[in-house]
Structure formats: structure tokens, C-alpha cells
């Protein structure tokens, strides 16, 4: 069996590649041209002799057709995207091009070249926006009312998947992923910005950490658990949509308090609010109900929240102590 992973250099992509290899699946991944070639593959460097990478871009149909012709995959995982919500608002046209038109390009290329293949789209809990949540949880039936260009781009591609599935009888599934983190997370996402910021303060490398809205709540899982769910979703006996989440919600403030406390500090002494990190419109509350995936796919997360936090602290601490440069002053 052969898989093609777009976005293989990203956080989930790298865990998914490892998981596919462990399941004896041949792994191909697409990478884009990047001006800083030295670091672009750092999450998959350890896999270079086990996977094959191809240059392609979701916004370039001919490159997608070429890679599908060359690899003829059985499974396609679309993880490629502009994945940062705030940057999506700063580059709205590109966000829609890559996250929506890119998905359309991939589905159309798949329809003509490998129509019997299966595809999983990385859909996002950002699609829910601030829709009313009756019992405190978002599930597959919760109304979707996005509050960001990124959320809108993901909702449109979610519907493209559903439409082509029913109109053209294709095996297309949506993995509706809630926030997921690890020590491989970019430091411009809030969890790793806090962990690397707090560690740098502890090691005397900086004094303050500047953040935006501390009140918003997120449902944070480990990305490795999300990657494992994606394989179960695509291997299921029918194409369907599944929420993948821990089921626990915490505020950014609670996350800050925990990380600084674990490092023997009080976040009030170091964290300052900078309005430039606020979103134009905030998604306030996420807590996912993944009972459908747990029941139908027998999926359960392996990592507890504290496992996740410990891994993030320990691996980043090791990196900083070994002089590995980590950008702890993220711009977003």
C-alpha cells in the first residue's frame, strides 16, 4: 500500500509519516520550494532514507497531477495548508488559494488519475467558530460558523469533500482535528510559544513573554494521537467525517500558569499582554466530543495532557541547553 502526504514537513505530517512506516505503508510526501532549505525538512530528517519526497504545491495543479501520476497512491492525506489562523487573515487570498482551491485541485486531480484512491482532509475545529454549543462540546453535528478567513477556507474545503463524496462516489473523509501540539510544534503557536518562552526566561535568555488573548479556551491533544486517528479514519469501511479531540478544555491562561509553575516561576512576573497578538475576531471556546471516533474506530488517545506538557518542556529544554537556536520571540 502507498500513501501520499501533502504537508509532510509539518508537525502532524512528520508523525503520520512515522506511523505509516510502522504500518508497512510506502510513504511519499510533497514539499514546496523554500528559500531556507537548511531547516525546511528538520521534522523529517530522521526519515529521509525511508520516505520519498516530491516537489509539488496545492496551488499548482500540474505539480499535483505529476506527483499522482508518478506515485499512484492508494491513500492521500492532505495536511498541506496555511495553518496559522492569524496569518491566514493577513494573507487571505493565499489562505483561500491553498486551503480551499488547493483541496479542489487535489480532489479533481485524484478524480481523473486515481479515482479509487482514498483521501483524508485535515479539517479544523476552527470551522465551528463561535456557534452556540448546547452541551459544552462540539461534535460532527454542531453548527459551523467560522470567525476567521482560515476557518472559512477550511469550511469550504470540508464541504468540497462532502460534495464530491456524494456526487462522484469518491472515498473522501474529513478528519476534524482540534488543536494538537508536541515539541515539534512551531513556536508561533501559543503552546510552544509559552513553553519555549518560559524556558528561555528560566535559562536567563530573556525576561518577558508577550502574548495576546489569555481567556480563550482550547482542546489540546498530542499530534501523534491525531496522526493515528487519521489512519483509522481513512481505513474505515466507509468514507465519513470524524471529530478528533481530547475532550478537555483549558484556557491559555491556565496553560501559562501550569508551564511557569512547573518551572518554579509565576507567570504574572513575566507575561505581558501585547494587543498585536490579539485576533481581529476570536474563537473563544473549543472542547471536542470525539465519541463517534472512539466508538466506530476504536480510537483512544495514548497521551495524557501532562504527558504532552512534559514532552514539550523536556525536549525544548534539551534543545536550548544544547545551544540549538529556537525562535522564542514569535511575531504572531
| Residues annotated as catalytic (active site), given as ranges | 124, 126, 150
Kindly tell me which residue out of 193, 222, 270, 292 binds ligand G4F, with binding defined by CB under 6 A. 193
Q: Which listed residue (133, 250, 277, 310) binds ligand G4F by CB under 6 A?
A: 277
Out of 125, 174, 200, 287, the residue judged to bind ligand G4F by CB under 6 A: 125
DSSP 108-147: HHHHHH-TT-EEEEEEEGGGGBT---SSS-B-TTS--B--
Q: What's the min distance (Å) between Cβ of 234 and ligand G4F?
A: 19
- d(C-alpha 220, C-alpha 226), whole Å: 11
Please state the closest distance from residue 113 (CB atom) to ligand G4F, in A: 28
Should residue 212 be labelled a site residue for ligand G4F when binding is judged by CB under 6 A?
yes
- Order of strands, edge to edge, in the sheet holding 26-31? 51-55, 26-31, 2-6, 75-78, 118-124, 171-177, 241-244
The CA distance from 12 to 147, in Å, is: 24
Interface residue with ligand G4F among 97, 139, 145, 216 (CB under 6 A) is 216
In angstroms, give the least distance from the CB of 183 to ligand G4F: 15
Rounded-to-integer distance, Cα 249 and Cα 286, Å: 7
Interaction mask 241-270, ligand G4F, x per CB under 6 A: -----------x------------------
Nearer to ligand G4F, 107 or 127 (CB): 127
**Residue 34 or residue 284: which is nearer to ligand G4F going by CB?**
284
| Residue 271 Cβ vs ligand G4F, minimum distance, rounded to whole Å | 10
Q: How many angstroms separate the CA atoms of 302 and 269, rounded? A: 34
User: In the complex with ligand G4F, which residue's Cβ is closer, 118 or 193?
Assistant: 193
b/e per residue 75-107 (b: at least 16 CB within 10 A): bbbbbbbbbbbbbbeeebeebbbbbbbbbbbbb
Q: What is the DSSP-derived secondary structure letter of residue 268? A: G
Q: Which is nearer to ligand G4F, 218 or 257 (CB)?
A: 218
Q: Which of 179, 196, 221, 224 binds ligand G4F (CB under 6 A)?
A: 179
Coil, strand or helix: which one is 166? helix
Using DSSP bridges, classify how beta strands 250-251 and 217-218 pair: parallel, antiparallel or unpaired: antiparallel
3-state secondary structure of 12: helix
Cα angle 229, 231, 233; round to 5: 70
Between 54 and 219, CB nearer to ligand G4F? 219
With DSSP H G I counted as helix, E B as strand and the rest as coil, what are the percentages for the chain, rounded to 5? Answer: 45, 15, 40
Q: Which of 52, 279, 294, 317 is the binder for ligand G4F (CB under 6 A)?
A: 279
* CB of residue 88 to ligand G4F, shortest distance in Å: 9
The answer to whether 248 touches 287, Cβ cutoff 8 Å, is yes
Query: How is residue 328 written as a grid cell?
Result: 522564542
Answer yes or no whether residue 211 interacts with ligand G4F by CB under 6 A. Answer: yes
- The residue among 213 and 310 lying less far from ligand G4F, judged by its C-beta, is 213
Note whether 145 binds ligand G4F by CB under 6 A. no
- Cell 488543536 locates to 179
Assess 110 for contact with ligand G4F (CB under 6 A). no
> Whose Cβ is closer to ligand G4F: residue 18's or residue 181's?
181
Answer yes or no whether residue 188 interacts with ligand G4F by CB under 6 A: yes
Q: Which residues of the chain form contacts with ligand G4F (CB under 6 A)?
A: 83, 85, 124-126, 178-179, 188-190, 193, 211-213, 216, 218, 252, 277, 279, 282, 286, 332
Amino acid at each position: 500500500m502507498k500513501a501520499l502526504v501533502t504537508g509532510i514537513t509539518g508537525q502532524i505530517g512528520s508523525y503520520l509519516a512515522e506511523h505509516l512506516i510502522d504500518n508497512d505503508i510506502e510513504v511519499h510526501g510533497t514539499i514546496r520550494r523554500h528559500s531556507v532549505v537548511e531547516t525546511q525538512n528538520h521534522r523529517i530528517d530522521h526519515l529521509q532514507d525511508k520516505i520519498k519526497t516530491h516537489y509539488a504545491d496545492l496551488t499548482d495543479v500540474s505539480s499535483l497531477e505529476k506527483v499522482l501520476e508518478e506515485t499512484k497512491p492508494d491513500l492521500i492525506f492532505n495536511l498541506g495548508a496555511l495553518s496559522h489562523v492569524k496569518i491566514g487573515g493577513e494573507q487571505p487570498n493565499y489562505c483561500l488559494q491553498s486551503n480551499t482551491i488547493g483541496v479542489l485541485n487535489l480532489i479533481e486531480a485524484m478524480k481523473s488519475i486515481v479515482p479509487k484512491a482514498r483521501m483524508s482532509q485535515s479539517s479544523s475545529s476552527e470551522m465551528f467558530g463561535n456557534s452556540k454549543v448546547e452541551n459544552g462540546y462540539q461534535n460532527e453535528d454542531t453548527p459551523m460558523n467560522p470567525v476567521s478567513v482560515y476557518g472559512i477556507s477550511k469550511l469550504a474545503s470540508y464541504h468540497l469533500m462532502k460534495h464530491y463524496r456524494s456526487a462522484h462516489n469518491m472515498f473522501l473523509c474529513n478528519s476534524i482535528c482540534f488543536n494538537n501540539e508536541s515539541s515539534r510544534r512551531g513556536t508561533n503557536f501559543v503552546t510552544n510559544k509559552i513553553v519555549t518562552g518560559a524556558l528561555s526566561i528560566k535559562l536567563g535568555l530573556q525576561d518577558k513573554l508577550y502574548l495576546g488573548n489569555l481567556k480563550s479556551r482550547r482542546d489540546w491533544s498530542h499530534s501523534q494521537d491525531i496522526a493515528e486517528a487519521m489512519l483509522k479514519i481513512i481505513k474505515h469501511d466507509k468514507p465519513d467525517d470524524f471529530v478528533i479531540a481530547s475532550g478537555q478544555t483549558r484556557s491559555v491562561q491556565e496553560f501559562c500558569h501550569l508551564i511557569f509553575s512547573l518551572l518554579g516561576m509565576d507567570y504574572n512576573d513575566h507575561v505581558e499582554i501585547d494587543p498585536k497578538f490579539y485576533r481581529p475576531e476570536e474563537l473563544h471556546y473549543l472542547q471536542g466530543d470525539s465519541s463517534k471516533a472512539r466508538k466506530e474506530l476504536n480510537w483512544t488517545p495514548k497521551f495524557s495532557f501532562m504527558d504532552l506538557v512534559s514532552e514539550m518542556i523536556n525536549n525544548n529544554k534539551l534543545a536550548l541547553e544544547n545551544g540549538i537556536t529556537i525562535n522564542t520571540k514569535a511575531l504572531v
